[in-house]
Amino acid sequence: MADDLTAQIITDPDQDVLPMEVGFSAQVEGGTPPYSYIWSFGDGGTSSNAEESHYYRESGQYQVSLAIIDSQREYAVNQKSITVSTMVTDYDNATFSYYTCTREISTLVSDVDNLNVMWVGTEGGLVRINFETQEKRFYTQGLPSVDIQALILARDGTVWVGTKYGLAVFNPSTNTWKTITTSDGLPENNIKTLIQTANGELWIGTNNSGIARTNLSLTQWSFYNTLNELPDNQIRAMTQTSDGSIWVGTKVGGVCRLDPNSDQWSIYDTSVGLPGNKILTMLSERSGILWVATDGGLVRMMPDWETWDSYTGLSGEPPFQVRALGQTADGTIWAISSYYGIYRLIEGIFPGSFIYYENSLPSNINALLETNYGVLWAGSNSGLYWINKDTGDGNAYDISGDLPSNCVRSSIQTSDGAIWAATSQGLVRLDSNTKEWIEYGTGASALLQAKDQSIWVGRSGSIAHYNSQMDLWDTYSFDIEPPNSAYSIIQTSDDNILIGTYGGILQFDTDSQEFKLKYDKNSGLPNNAVYRLMEAHDGSLWAGTWGGGGARIEPQNGEWAVLNTSTGFPDDWIGSLYQTVDETIWIGTVNEGLIHLSQDLNTFDIYNIENGLPHNFVRSMLQTDDGSIFIGTCGGGIAVLDPTTNQWETICRDNGLPDDAIMSLMPTIEGGLLVGTNEGGLVRLGFPSSSKSPGKLVLVGGGGAASTNTLWSATQEISESVYRIFHARGFKNTDIYFMSPDKWCDFNGDGFDDHIVDCPAPNEDRDPAVSDVEYAITDWAATNYTEDTPLFVYLIDHGYSDDGVNGPYFQVAPGENLYASQLDAMLDAYEAATGGQVVVINESCYSGEFLSYLKKEGRVIISSTDSSLAHYSAQGENCFSQYFLKNLYNNSSLDQAFSRAVSQLKISEITEDQTPQMDDDADGVSDASDGLLASTIKLGGDFTLGAPWPEILSVEQGAIISGSMVFTTTVSARMQRVWATVQPPGYEVDETGDYGKVDLPFFNLSDPEGDLTYAASYDDFTQTGVYTVTIFAKDQFGNVAGADPLSIPVGLAGKGTVSGNVITILEDYDNISVSAASGAITVSIQGTDYSAKVDSEGDFIIYGVTPGSYTLTFSGLGFDSVSVAGVVVEADGTLTIPDVEVPLSSTVEAVPCDLDGDNKRGLSDAIEIIRELSGTP
């Protein structure tokens, strides 16, 4: 009889820091072999192997379970704990995710260089919209304020932005900002209007200080105000008419004109017949006529500047107040009135009549603009609209961002991962699964997740309570004087819900289900205006008041002890309360900075602007797991105090925050911060841990400045994808050295700059150089090497063939050529210094020529093509790297990702001849012997990410009617963009330049119902032949999915169609069938140009075949060719031939690869080889 079955879990190691790789094995005794193993690793991961290596990606303690079952079905179970230690936080490399409101639009401007681009000035920053690609870029950092009041594009391409805190100029070619304030010559920082005059000068209208006039280099200044003839210093509008006159509209002084000849001002106000002195907006017609909108009506001034027509409204009606004026390309004048809506001027009836449109536009329009391609746009306080010129109807175009307001008073992340934000205009929740924001009613001031997981929301005069399990809301009003909001909500250790209001402290009575007054000035509070509440670790209640100081209920006697100026405390205005892990109390004040009380509460230390605090108004505080104390100030950003050194660091506008006025700080589940700001929305800060590195990446976006690099749009898209996928697979920002000529980069898909470009530095106006690549590899990567982790070098942009002297090269920038031999020397130096492994991925033309130069034992060299051109579209959606990266993301090894990417390239006719290369056996040649080393490397380790890659679930097409066809596709999640490329019959890639330029027509699909079904029609199926339509979808993070191409025959009457199915077999193993990847086999009609790819199901179809008798040939890499004769095609008919068996090529048997480790090549090896050759998962 067998001994009792026992199992001992063996782990190596038991405790470590992230990411933690643990080797598991078992010591099994007793029972009757063989044994079956069932592992559960405590984080959802499982295995049935006797030994397993498992990665843990999050800190915590995990209970590992092992069940052993022997051949007699006896079993034994054992458990063991694994501890993943808390991360050490790196504050110098914070990542930023931004959530903003760009709903209120002040100004609209068309781009001077790109007809598809419009710039939008909003309350939440500057937005650049590319209507062709649907890309939106959001700019907040670099602006003096995110609330934009004026905007122009100068003729040199620079963008000038006026805010209430100063002027900023943006250089799109370098993606750099410069701020101009009173210290640089402005008479005032509050900028209301901007124009560039015909001579190139910049005119700046201010709120209260008149006009500043300067050149674009800001070296010559002159000023106009009430001291030198202006009627009012409050400037509200400016324009220049075709005769050179400068017109200035003021708030109370009417409009004035600067004569270009005499340089004298003329004033037009109610005294000379103007209907009003408050100027709302102005428009200069191309004909020279000036339109002036006043609070008393609209005026059309003739070029003699002595006569005008007035439109002041009908008798008894409000004045015809016009908020926005525009002129379209056909000369039509459009006006939007505060009271009536949109009007169009009809000429021919003196003095011209305005036609009113009843429409769906909101009443608060601030700007009108016709873009270069003929669409009339309106910017309002409630969003962006395009206007139907025939009906006047407005159609919303969403750029409103995520929040109802940029004033975020409080935020929390709940235990289910959702983010809640209380803003001045509404409460919102970010669903952790759908990544969509849900809005709940009006403005909110405070948030709390209670112990029962319910949510309490402070509002004006009430508290809302959300039961998340039942999805039910309750509202509790409180009737106290004065009417006010709940500014602070806490749950005490005895489960009471307390709120701080301007009428005292209220407590929720569970019996009566209402809030009742608990404490006020009559019960000992120094002031009824309670702004902050806190329960200390000893159970005592602390209150911070607005004007009365702080107070604490003594646990012994229940009486309030007051801390205010009358008792020696520095300030009576309390902005925040916090207790750190050492049990000490910190009090943030409005005027005197941060107060740190001693343990006995009798003495205190003060931190203010004199000893390192960036601002004295402290509104929020938080301590992180490493002991650092984060201080949110109202004007200086976030101050971080290291308690061990007592040193301050600052996170502010200069390094990523959109606003320096911090309203709230809250922790996130993953160890970051939620930062609520006064004007910049909500920011999610993540901090890379100082944990074990999975390797290093040197990422080179080459080719030089975007303005001169024709390949840059594809290079940028691919570079962002590389960064995103490496980051998702565990590479921290500190593990990636990114070189790019464009300092703006958005790798996480939120539309904001992520500040991840390492070289050149932000203050350097240059392109990357070869010396930068050398530094990154031989210095940065070598110095920061982590044992047993690889170095990845990823090159993206132009590549060139062997020049006959120095060999092939990659263009880092114009004149900066990285030759393969130079790269080899750099890698040699790195390997000599570290002994580490190297992987090179070269996404450029002729990149296959690098293999023979870089060959070396232990290296993996991957190229996107051979010794020929690579093909790229503007968005890079169909290139090698996009397919390769998708498979790396999905936990494929380098070898698997390479093979599958090769197969996916073959699907498209455009890239079917592109042949990527891989060498990992040091012979400098890509062949069937390669892949063994690459198969052992998975990016960041062996684990599957929780967030799936986006999928296109289905594609449907309608019938062609008058050259138009409707396409409908269903996707797996909300997408940032869905579009389709259209390859016309006979299309050929342009190979006349230094890369294969793919320039296909495309159209965007939309999801108006929000049900993940996107649809659109394409109206140009006008050529005879077969079109190829491919649908792509980009998710909210920037990951791209592509559907199999659709063949659309057009005008093929009298032609025939051939279809069928291919079965791939393994002849040496009883003709067993295996699947081949889509595109692995090509079907050709001998003697013609007709051909088609076999899809992943084995199906193929060939359209437009001239009637006749033919022979079909079936061929593909790794397969024997098969011919089928006697295929008769009839006009307007479809011939479906019988299934065709295509065997795996016999050369496969020569592959020297034992994949399953049994020291022989057998069935399992052959099947794996088939998968590798065919690219099948």
Q: Is the dihedral of CA 520, 521, 524, 526 positive or negative?
A: positive
CATH number attached to the domain at 700-936: 3.40.50.1460
**Once rounded to an integer, what is the mean pLDDT over residues 801-805?**
87
Task: Judge whether residue 1071 has pLDDT over 80.
Answer: no
Q: Which range among 177-191, 267-281, 650-664 shows the weakest confidence by mean pLDDT?
A: 650-664
**Once rounded to an integer, what is the mean pLDDT over residues 1065-1081?**
74
Look at the domain 6-85 and name its fold.
Immunoglobulin-like (2.60.40)
Q: Could you give the CA distance from residue 629 to residue 606 in angstroms, rounded to a whole number?
A: 15
Q: Which of 696, 701, 718 is nearest to 818 (CA)?
A: 701
**Pairing between strand 95-99 and 682-686?**
antiparallel
pLDDT tens digits, residue range 1005-1017?
Answer: 999 888 899 999 9
Look at the domain 103-319 and name its fold.
Methylamine Dehydrogenase; Chain H (2.130.10)
pLDDT tens digits, residue range 13-46?
Answer: 765 555 567 888 888 888 888 898 888 888 878 8
Count Cβ atoms within 10 A of the Cβ of residue 315 and give its class: 0-12 exposed, 13-18 middle, 19 or more buried. exposed
**Pairing between strand 504-509 and 497-501?**
antiparallel
Q: Could you give the CA distance from residue 795 to residue 503 in angstroms, rounded to a whole number?
A: 63
Q: Could you give the CA distance from residue 350 to residue 1018 in angstroms, rounded to a whole number?
A: 44
Tokens describing residue 1164: 């399992």
pLDDT tens digits, residue range 525-540?
Answer: 999 999 999 999 988 9
Please tell me the predicted confidence (pLDDT) of residue 688. 65
How much helix, strand and coil, in percent to the nearest 5, is found in the chain?
Answer: 10, 45, 45
Please tell me the predicted confidence (pLDDT) of residue 1160. 43
From residue 1153, how far is each of 861, 906, 929, 1170 by CA, in Å? 19, 25, 8, 12
Q: What band does 346 get if pLDDT is binned at 50, 70 and 90?
A: low
Assess whether the region 408-616 and the region 1053-1177 belong to the same CATH fold.
Answer: no
Report percent pLDDT > 70 for the chain: 91
Which of the listed ranges 48-57, 370-379, 837-846 does the model predict with the highest average pLDDT? 837-846
**Once rounded to an integer, what is the mean pLDDT over residues 253-257?**
96
182 vs 670, which has greater pLDDT?
Answer: 182
Task: Judge whether residue 98 has pLDDT over 60.
Answer: yes
Q: Could you give the CA distance from residue 657 to residue 682 in angstroms, rounded to a whole number?
A: 10
**Once rounded to an integer, what is the mean pLDDT over residues 922-949?**
91
Task: Judge whether residue 282 has pLDDT over 90.
Answer: yes
Q: Which of 299, 351, 295, 344 is nearest to 323 (CA)?
A: 295
Tell me the pTM.
Answer: 0.73
Count Cβ atoms within 10 A of the Cβ of residue 404 and give its class: 0-12 exposed, 13-18 middle, 19 or more buried. buried
**What ranges do the domains of the chain cover?**
6-85, 103-319, 408-616, 700-936, 1053-1177
Q: Which range among 364-373, 554-563, 1142-1151 shows the weakest confidence by mean pLDDT?
A: 1142-1151
Q: Give the number of other Cβ atoms within 10 Å of residue 214's Cβ.
A: 20
State the chain's mean pLDDT as an integer: 87
Q: What band does 1169 get if pLDDT is binned at 50, 70 and 90?
A: low
Tokens describing residue 343: 């009007």
In contact, 796 and 700? CB cutoff 8 Å? yes
HSE-up (13 A, CA, CB side) for residue 27? 4
Task: Judge whether residue 57 has pLDDT over 70.
Answer: no
Helix segments in 835-944, DSSP class H: 851-854, 880-889, 894-907
592 vs 986, which has greater pLDDT?
Answer: 592
Please tell me the predicted confidence (pLDDT) of residue 690. 55
Please tell me the predicted confidence (pLDDT) of residue 1154. 46
Task: Judge whether residue 318 has pLDDT over 60.
Answer: no
Please tell me the predicted confidence (pLDDT) of residue 1065. 86
Q: Mind spelling out the 3-state secondary structure of 1000-1015?
A: CCEEEEECCCCCCEEE
* Complete edge-to-edge strand list for the sheet that includes strand 560-563: 530-535, 541-545, 550-553, 560-563
In contact, 395 and 386? CB cutoff 8 Å? yes
Q: Could you give the CA distance from residue 413 to residue 499 in angstroms, rounded to a whole number?
A: 20
pLDDT tens digits, residue range 1052-1067?
Answer: 888 898 999 999 888 7
Please tell me the predicted confidence (pLDDT) of residue 1153. 42
Look at the domain 1053-1177 and name its fold.
Immunoglobulin-like (2.60.40)
pLDDT tens digits, residue range 577-628?
Answer: 999 988 899 999 999 999 999 888 888 999 999 988 999 999 999 998 777 8
**Once rounded to an integer, what is the mean pLDDT over residues 262-267?**
93
HSE-up (13 A, CA, CB side) for residue 411? 31
pLDDT tens digits, residue range 508-519?
Answer: 988 888 888 999
Tokens describing residue 902: 């090769």
Secondary structure letter of residue 711 according to DSSP = T
Secondary structure letter of residue 678 according to DSSP = S
CATH class of 408-616: mainly beta
Q: What band does 558 get if pLDDT is binned at 50, 70 and 90?
A: confident
